[in-house]
Structure 1
Amino acid sequence: MRAGDSFTMINRGKTSFDAEAFTLLYLPIIGTDAFALYQLMLSFSTGRISHFLEYLNIGLHPFSEALDKLSALALVRVFDDHSTLYLEVKSPLNFENFLADDFYRQLLISRIGENRVAGLAKTLEPKGKEISKKFHEIYKVNFTAESQSAKQTNQLDMGAFQSLMERQALHFSDENKDRLTLYSLAEKFELNWYELFKQAESTANADKTLNMSNLIRKLSAQSEPQPALSEFPKAFADLILISKSHEPEEFLRQIKTQAGGFVSSDERKILANLARQNLPAQVQNVLIHYILIQQKNASLSANFVNTLANDWLRNKVFTAETAVKRILERNEQAANKATQAAARTTHTGPAKIKKAAPEWSNPNYENKTSQADLVKLEQIRLDSLKKLENTKPTS
């Protein structure tokens, strides 16, 4: 958008405007620049963007921000046809409709407080008997077909959302702020109230308060395009499908049963902790498979599980696809490091011997020595003792 671009108002003179309602209801939300711009658009028909800038005494960037605020509240629709903007101004809501809309009401509360909004909502109660007539009593109309003009909207049904919250004993951390966030998320990710509730429920805190940060992270990660199963090796593609159809404890039980083992109470505690950390079930299943099958551990270790879970949460791993992708990336990085180390050894000669901590000192270490290896180790120990005895000095 440039100051020299043209604009055309496509519905000039076809809007209703209540100056008092617009001032009291919209001004605190949109600010003075957008407030003045809207009224100026009611007077202009065509011209250049520079005309707005001159009248309002603002720059192009503040003008663009003001226009965005108006379009976000459905006060104007903007169409960009290269060097020309087509602007359709919409009528503001009146007092009754504005304050009856929970989203707009909460938005105004966030700006001027609940007490002032309650004051704006007060009206005089009528006295006497109502003698108003019904439409059908005065106008005789033959309806030949049902009207199809009812407009369906995707606006969040906050009443239904909160009713289910109450049944599940969930509550807001900051009601006004959380409600506005929910409206924004429902619109951005095109979710109905029930779909959004299930996501909010799965990311709630342990004290049953909604966690907007977790919810935003999860929805953002899930909205990103997921790689096709064909992009993964066959075994991992199968793992992704299986991970999405099992609960973690059942998935763990099946793996342990196949190996002749059982799910311990400690492992159940580990899974419960992963659920509290809002790690999705399908991601937990990939983690379980990685530790028990790919890493060949007999059981889940809290330290190892928590290390991986923290890494995945920090890297926004909320789907089986991204979990498998993370594993493959780590495997590739490890292989590259090994290749680079081997290349350095070839060019510079044998590396200096560095004493490393023994593997058994690692809290995740598992003894995998076979019986045959134990026999060999015992023979080595006996041979060493025999050599020592032969080298002892004789008295």
Structure 2
Amino acid sequence: MDEQDDDEVRRFNTLRQTGFSENDIQLIKIAQNTAPMDFLQAIKNEKHNYVTDQETWTMKTLVERSPLPNSVINVLVHYVLVIKKNSFLQANFINQIATNWSELEIISPEQAIKHVRSLVKEAKNKPNKKTNSTSKKSQPVRKETLPDWVDNPTEEVEDPEVQEEINQKLQDYLKRKEGEN
């Protein structure tokens, strides 16, 4: 074992002691050792999906222009496709996250995973907008009265001869259609 391997072992042991799971450590190892396009392709394969042209351009731009290391980009892709369960990478969404992570100076996959955990925790604790009752109270409720015919419909008596004629025309039409096939 060389010195670099010793450093890796120490690093991963420290991560285990600070609350990182074996799955987290596996993600870190894969994120560090895989190119972003290969990482994206692997996730897409797992989801029985494919990499779109837009995603290819988004990844190419992200790798070329973003100050984020490839390992952090891979964690970002994992977050969007696996944790948030999106089907594909939307350029605006990816760039928004990438610029935010750049400003937060997230430079390692460990930092990215910690940040993702805090985002997930925050999302769980945030009250859902749909269930927020205060917004419903502020909107006036409009009441309408229904017309009488809703409660007391008048029945129209159909002429049996007219109904028979309609049925006959329908049968003739269906027979003509069968003959065309």
**Counterpart of 2:172?**
none
Counterpart pick for 1:351 among 134, 142, 156: 134
User: Is 1:248 aligned to 2:31, yes or no?
Assistant: no
In the other structure, the counterpart of 2:56 is 268
Q: What residue in structure 2 maps to residue 311 of structure 1?
A: 100
Cα deviation, residue 283, structure 1 = 0.6
Over 3 Å counting, the alpha-carbon distance change for 1:227 and 1:265 in structure 2 is: farther
**1:276-311 per-position Cα deviation (integer Å, ceiling 9, x unaligned):** 122210011001111111111111111110111011
Give the Cα separation in 2 of the matches to 1:337 and 1:318. 27
Residue matched to 1:233: 21
- Describe the shift of the 1:353–1:227 C-alpha distance in structure 2 as closer, same or farther (beyond 3 A): farther
Query: Is residue 278 of structure 1 aligned with residue 33 of structure 2?
Result: no
- Where does residue 150 of structure 2 map in the other structure? 391
CA distance in 2, matches of 1:309, 1:286: 11
TM-score, normalisation: structure 1: 0.30
**Mapped partners of 2:116, 2:70: distance in 1:** 17
Distance 2:74 2:123 in 1: 23
1:124-143 equivalences under 5 Å are none
Q: Which residue of 2 aligns with 1:291?
A: 80
Q: 1:227–1:321: 8 Å Cα contact kept in structure 2? A: no
Structure 1 residue 227, shift from structure 2 partner: 9.5
Cα distance change on mapping 1:281 and 1:267 into 2, 3 Å: same
**Contact kept in structure 2, 1:291 and 1:300, CA below 8 Å:** yes
- Per the alignment, residue 56 of structure 1 pairs with none
Q: Compare relative contact order (CA 8 Å, sep 6+) and give the higher one, 1 or 2.
A: 2
For structure 1, which segment, 226-235 or 281-290, has the greater mean C-alpha deviation from structure 2 after superposition? 226-235
Matches of 1:354 and 1:244, distance apart in 2: 51
Cα displacement (A) at 1:354: 7.0
* Distance change (3 Å), C-alpha of 1:288 and 1:239: same
Contact kept in structure 1, 2:44 and 2:51, CA below 8 Å: yes
The one-letter code sitting in structure 1 at the alignment partner of 2:14 is A
- Give matches, 1:19-38, under 5 Å: none
Code of the aligned partner of 1:235: N
- In the TM superposition, what is the alpha-carbon distance from 1:353 to its structure 2 partner? 1.3
Match for 2:118: what amino acid?
A: E
Residue of structure 1 equivalent to 2:125:
336
Shift of 1:330: 1.6
Distance (Å, rounded) in 2 between the aligned partners of 1:268 and 1:309: 16
- Counterpart-to-counterpart distance in 1, 2:137 and 2:14: 44
Structure 1: runs of 5 or more not aligned: 1-224, 356-389
Aligned counterpart for 2:90 among listed residues 301, 324, 338 = 301
The match for 1:258 is 46
Q: May I ask how many residue pairs the two structures share in their alignment?
A: 129
- 1:391 is aligned with what amino acid? V
* Alpha-carbon spacing, 1:264–1:352, altered in 2? closer, same or farther (3 Å): closer
The verdict on how the C-alpha distance between 1:288 and 1:354 changes in structure 2, with shifts beyond 3 A counting, is: farther
In the TM superposition, what is the alpha-carbon distance from 1:315 to its structure 2 partner?
0.1
Aligned letter for 1:279?
L
* Contact 1:243 1:282 survives alignment (8 Å): yes
1-structure distance, mates of 2:81, 2:137: 31
Q: Name the % identity.
A: 32
Cα offset for 1:260? 1.8
CA contact (8 A) 2:81 2:89 kept: yes
Contact 2:28–2:109 under 8 Å retained in 1: yes
Q: CA deviation at 1:338?
A: 3.7
- Structure 2 residue runs of 5 or longer lacking an equivalent are 1-10, 139-148, 157-181
Matches within 5 A, 1:1-395: 228-230=14-16, 231-275=19-63, 276-338=65-127, 350-353=133-136, 391=150, 394=154
Q: Secondary structure at the match of 2:40?
A: helix
Give, in whole Å, the separation in 2 of the partners of 1:324 and 1:314.
Answer: 16
Question: Structure 2 counterpart of 1:258, which letter?
Answer: E
Higher helix share: 2
**Structure showing the higher strand proportion among its residues:** 1
